């Protein structure tokens, strides 16, 4: 890639971050503000690095296309962003074609399927599937169907790449790989998180699921989808992606959400900390105000709040992917858990697994 001249006059990159905030969306694009920022002397190297490392380059490319012939800087940057756009388009076309075929095979055997993350959102929220990067296919199935799913996937040339069986320890997913000339990776989930950290209402999620409007299979209710996106975003905050925040923005902008119901379900499933911090980050990033004050409702104690705020300060939103120590990751995971009983259970399990690794 050509190296753009870095702007050292503003080491905090305030204008660059503001531009990326404006570009990290589909709904309510502020073209006037974007055009004004593009006329400034920006650090384009920084913008490209962040867009690439936080998986937002295809979306930025799409939103900058109308300025490509009008702004010199955009005309140089956009072609490099477009490389990511075209690569994502090609990969997603393949993965979604594979997704359609796999779900058809599974549903043909009477196995219910709910797509997750990119497989659920690329067609539903975005004007082009190229805007929502995905690198594998995530599917939620019922725990009692795991053996049947395994049989179907093996028949269509997938092999299991991870060995844990459903129900063993606190595992909740299994990875499959199709190693052909058109390879693909599928992650089969029978839960949406470890049972020693949350009390997720998987039965309720299935009861509330409805037929997908775009693509095969079922889809979670609007409130359940938002809760899952919030849980996934903050659970993986140390390895965050800007596109995950865009998912949440587009879901809240394009769907009808019962916010009181979201809070009630978060409380009953012990994920109010994840919800509160994700939505606080969302509000601060996009400059919006949600109808409920989730941070206050979460009742996060002062010690846990201090620890989690410290992580946010150490790893701000535009910080590239963090390669953190196992201990620091475990402390973060521990502090996110709502209930003391669940934190103790999580700690005992972590110590058990640590001893098993040491003795292996």
Determine the average pLDDT of the residues in 6-20. 78
115-147, pLDDT tens digit by residue? 999 999 999 999 999 999 999 999 999 999 999
Closest CA to 276 of 268, 286, 285, 266: 266
Instruction: Name the average pLDDT for the chain.
Output: 89
> Residue 234 in contact with residue 278, Cβ under 8 Å?
yes
Structure tokens at 169: 């320890």
So what's the pLDDT on residue 7?
Answer: 47
Burial of 66 from C-beta contacts in 10 A (0-12 / 13-18 / 19+): middle
So what's the pLDDT on residue 69?
Answer: 73
- Cβ contacts of 205 within 8 Å, gap of 6 or more: 114, 140, 192, 220, 221, 224
Confidence of residue 165 (pLDDT cuts 50, 70, 90): very low
- Cβ contacts of 277 within 8 Å, gap of 6 or more: 234, 237, 295, 308, 312, 336
C-alpha distances in Å from residue 321, one per residue of 34, 49, 143, 251: 26, 11, 32, 24
So what's the pLDDT on residue 224?
Answer: 98
Sign of CA dihedral 62, 30, 258, 272: positive
Q: What is the DSSP string of 24-43?
A: S-SSS--HHHHHHHHTS---
Residue where the block lists tokens 């140390």: 238
- The residue that leads in pLDDT, 226 or 323, is 226
SS3 content of the chain, % helix, strand, coil (to 5): 60, 5, 35
C-alpha distances in Å from residue 29, one per residue of 4, 25, 63, 164, 355: 26, 7, 8, 44, 51
- Answer yes or no: is pLDDT of 268 > 60: yes
- Cβ contacts of 272 within 8 Å, gap of 6 or more: 263, 266, 294, 297, 298, 299, 338
Single pTM value for the model: 0.91
Structure tokens at 299: 């009742």
Bridge partners (DSSP) listed for residue 210 = 219
331-344, pLDDT tens digit by residue? 899 999 998 888 88
Question: How many alpha carbons lie under 13 Å from residue 344 in its C-beta half-sphere?
Answer: 3
So what's the pLDDT on residue 3?
Answer: 47
- Cβ contacts of 296 within 8 Å, gap of 6 or more: none
Determine the average pLDDT of the residues in 46-56. 93
- The residue that leads in pLDDT, 180 or 252, is 252
Structure tokens at 101: 């075929």
- Cβ contacts of 55 within 8 Å, gap of 6 or more: 133, 241, 242, 243
Confidence of residue 347 (pLDDT cuts 50, 70, 90): confident
Determine the average pLDDT of the residues in 195-209. 92
- Answer yes or no: is pLDDT of 16 > 50: yes
Determine the average pLDDT of the residues in 232-254. 94
Burial of 250 from C-beta contacts in 10 A (0-12 / 13-18 / 19+): buried
Instruction: Tell me the backbone φ, ψ of residue 351, rounded to 5 degrees.
Output: -65, -40
Give the residue extent of every domain in the chain. 14-354
- Cβ contacts of 344 within 8 Å, gap of 6 or more: none
65-90, pLDDT tens digit by residue? 888 777 776 677 788 899 999 999 99
- The residue that leads in pLDDT, 266 or 163, is 266
Structure tokens at 295: 């941070």
So what's the pLDDT on residue 305?
Answer: 94
Closest CA to 236 of 346, 134, 315: 315
Helix (H, G, I), strand (E, B) or coil at 106: helix
- Answer yes or no: is pLDDT of 181 > 90: no
- Answer yes or no: is pLDDT of 200 > 80: yes
């Amino acid at each position: 890639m050509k190296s753009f001249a870095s702007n050292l006059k503003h080491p905090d990159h305030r204008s660059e971050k503001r531009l990326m905030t404006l570009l990290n969306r589909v709904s309510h694009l502020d073209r006037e503000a974007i055009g004004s920022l593009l006329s400034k002397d920006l650090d384009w190297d920084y913008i490209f690095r962040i867009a690439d490392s936080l998986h937002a380059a295809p979306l930025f490319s799409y939103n900058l296309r109308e300025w490509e012939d009008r702004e010199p800087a955009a005309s140089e940057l956009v072609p490099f962003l477009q490389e990511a756009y075209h690569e994502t388009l090609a990969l997603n076309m393949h993965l979604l074609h594979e997704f359609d075929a796999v779900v058809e095979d599974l549903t043909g055997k009477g196995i219910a399927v709910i797509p997750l993350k990119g497989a659920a959102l690329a067609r539903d929220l975005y004007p082009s599937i190229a805007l929502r990067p995905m690198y594998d296919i995530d599917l939620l199935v019922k725990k009692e169907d795991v053996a049947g799913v395994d049989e179907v996937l093996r028949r269509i040339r997938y092999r299991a790449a991870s060995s844990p069986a459903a129900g063993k320890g606190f595992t909740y997913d299994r990875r499959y790989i199709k190693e052909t000339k058109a390879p693909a990776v599928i992650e089969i989930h029978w839960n949406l998180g470890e049972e020693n950290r949350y009390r997720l209402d998987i039965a309720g999620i299935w009861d509330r699921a409805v037929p997908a409007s775009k693509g095969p299979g079922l889809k979670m209710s609007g409130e359940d989808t938002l809760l899952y996106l919030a849980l996934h975003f903050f659970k993986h905050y140390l390895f965050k992606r800007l596109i995950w925040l865009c998912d949440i923005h587009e879901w809240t902008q394009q769907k009808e959400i019962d916010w009181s119901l979201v809070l009630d379900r978060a409380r009953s499933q012990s994920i109010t900390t994840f919800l509160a911090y994700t939505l606080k980050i969302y509000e601060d990033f996009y400059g919006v105000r949600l109808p409920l004050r989730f941070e206050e409702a979460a009742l996060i104690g002062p010690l846990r709040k201090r620890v989690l705020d410290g992580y946010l300060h150490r790893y701000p939103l535009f910080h590239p992917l963090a390669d953190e120590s196992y201990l620091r990751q475990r402390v973060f995971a521990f502090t996110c858990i709502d209930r003391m009983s669940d934190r103790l259970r999580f700690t005992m399990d972590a110590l058990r697994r640590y001893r098993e690794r040491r003795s292996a």
